[in-house]
Structure 1
Amino acid sequence: MEESEVATQKETVASTCVRDSAENQSNEATGEVSNPAAAAVCKPAEETGARFNRLKLLDKVMQKSLEKFIDIASFNRFASTFRPLYKKNPQRMESIHKQFIEELRRSIQEDISRLTEEGHLEFKLNELDKLERAAKDKPAPAWRPSGVPEQDLCSFLMPYYQKQEAYMRLELKKVQAENAALAQKVQAGRESIAQTENRISAAVDEWKASVTEFETLASSLCPADVFDV
């Protein structure tokens, strides 16, 4: 029954695509603009069928799980839980159980719908289609866990740590180069200060020598006994 429904759905999509393709060709011949909504509907039959199957399979799984959960809350189990009330009024208990099942089913169905919308399951299924198409073009096998958590964790973290190590090495080289340039500037400053100190010392020595020479010359030109009375 389900296969016939899927086949009918595919035939409907295919017929729609053929009709829209013929309309687009006629519109192109007459220069008219084709309908973008019809073009959006006309997708590859295989892709549309796969997405339809996934959505239908998800809904089928959720409905089966819901039915199994509802079956657990059967009337016999419900009545055995509230046996004193069941003995007093079995019909009333059946009515309460029926209302309970309806309310339970409705609330669970609302939760499923809300989770489907909040989880963006349709978008995720589309992404799954893209991943499958991309995987077909990659001959290399996909990653699979080895069964050893330590190895799997290392295989996942090692590339990250290697990138971080390479980045830190590059930053270390930059810092070392900056430190070397600063050290050269400091050395050059020290040499400049030493040269300035030498020039100052030499100038002081020259000044002292000139003062001594001047005093000697002054004493030789003006002896002290000339001024004696």
Structure 2
Amino acid sequence: MEEGPAATQTETTGNADSGVSAESQPNEATGKVCSQTNPELDCNPPKEAAARINRMKLFDKVIQKSLEKFINHASFNRFAHSFCPLHKKDPQRMESIHKQFIEELRRSIQDDISRLIEEGWLEVKLNELDKLERAAKNNPGPAWRPSGVPEQDFCSYLMPYYQKQEAYMRLELKKIKAENAALAQKAQDGRENIAQTENRISAAVDEWKASVTEFERLASSLCPANVFDV
């Protein structure tokens, strides 16, 4: 009976060792396959992904440390000093209230920080910052530095935007002027067509009047008025 637990422990240890070796064998085989298929390909996670994970861990560590410093300012002594009559009346109850207050304050701050991280797309912005850093490395020119005059720095930031807007407005103005010129040409062509139509109508009316006059003259010459006098 005494050897049973020892034997069971030995078997368990052996099974655990075999499980570890079984788990390690596929990993070793995978590493060998990766190295054989492409020696330059590393099966480990990319360095950028590892850097992002470490950066988020560091950010979380800094946030937690700052939170702890903030929580330490709300110590029980300060809390009890603010509610001195209640503390003198029931110190244990005051300690319980302070504990609940600290837990609620910590949870509320942590929720607000998580919401800000999510709504502000912190990880995405940090990735964009990495892209800017890589682009800055490829740029041999000096990096931008504030001049110390807020007005100049603000103007230097807004000037490219306003220049783009000015170029866009100039292009739109050019298009509008071209459209207005085309419309003015169409209106001029319409006026000319109307004038030509009026001239043709006037000429036709003049011809009709001349033909009527000529007809009346011929009619009067062929049929004098005194012929019908009795």
TM-score tier (shorter): 0.5 to 0.7
Query: Percent of counterpart pairs with the same letter?
Result: 77
Deviation at 1:72, TM superposition (A): 1.5
1:42 aligns with 2:45: yes
Deviation by residue 1:204-223 (Cα, 9 ceiling, x = unmatched): 33333333333333333434
Amino acid at match of 2:65: K
Change (3 A) 1:193 1:25: same
Q: Which residue of 1 aligns with 2:148?
A: 147
* Partners of 2:166 and 2:105 in 1: CA distance: 56
* Partners of 2:99 and 2:226 in 1: CA distance: 146
Where do residues 1-229 of structure 1 align in structure 2 (5 Å cutoff)?
21-26=31-36, 28=37, 39=43, 41-44=44-47, 47=48, 50-91=51-92, 93-229=94-230
* Partners of 2:184 and 2:175 in 1: CA distance: 14
Q: Report 1 or 2 for greater relative contact order, CA contacts < 8 Å, sequence distance ≥ 6.
A: 1
* Partners of 1:118 and 1:223 in 2: CA distance: 108
SS in structure 2 at match of 1:139: coil
Deviation by residue 1:173-215 (Cα, 9 ceiling, x = unmatched): 2232233333333333333333333333333333333333333
Change (3 A) 1:76 1:175: closer
Amino acid at match of 2:46: K
Change (3 A) 1:150 1:224: same
Amino acid at match of 2:131: K
Change (3 A) 1:223 1:147: same
Deviation by residue 1:50-78 (Cα, 9 ceiling, x = unmatched): 43542343233223222222222223223
* Partners of 1:131 and 1:162 in 2: CA distance: 23
* Partners of 2:134 and 2:50 in 1: CA distance: 15
* Partners of 1:142 and 1:218 in 2: CA distance: 104
User: Could you list the runs of 5+ residues in structure 1 that have no partner in the other structure?
Assistant: 1-17, 30-37
Change (3 A) 1:129 1:22: farther
Amino acid at match of 2:205: V
SS in structure 2 at match of 1:142: coil
User: Could you list the runs of 5+ residues in structure 2 that have no partner in the other structure?
Assistant: 1-26
8 Å contact kept, 1:54–1:125:
no
SS in structure 2 at match of 1:196: helix
* Partners of 1:219 and 1:99 in 2: CA distance: 127
Amino acid at match of 1:42: P
* Partners of 2:115 and 2:225 in 1: CA distance: 121
Change (3 A) 1:194 1:140: same
* Partners of 2:212 and 2:99 in 1: CA distance: 125
TM-score normalized with structure 1 length: 0.65
* Partners of 1:78 and 1:115 in 2: CA distance: 28
* Partners of 1:50 and 1:227 in 2: CA distance: 125
Amino acid at match of 1:43: P
* Partners of 2:32 and 2:122 in 1: CA distance: 34
Deviation at 1:136, TM superposition (A): 1.3
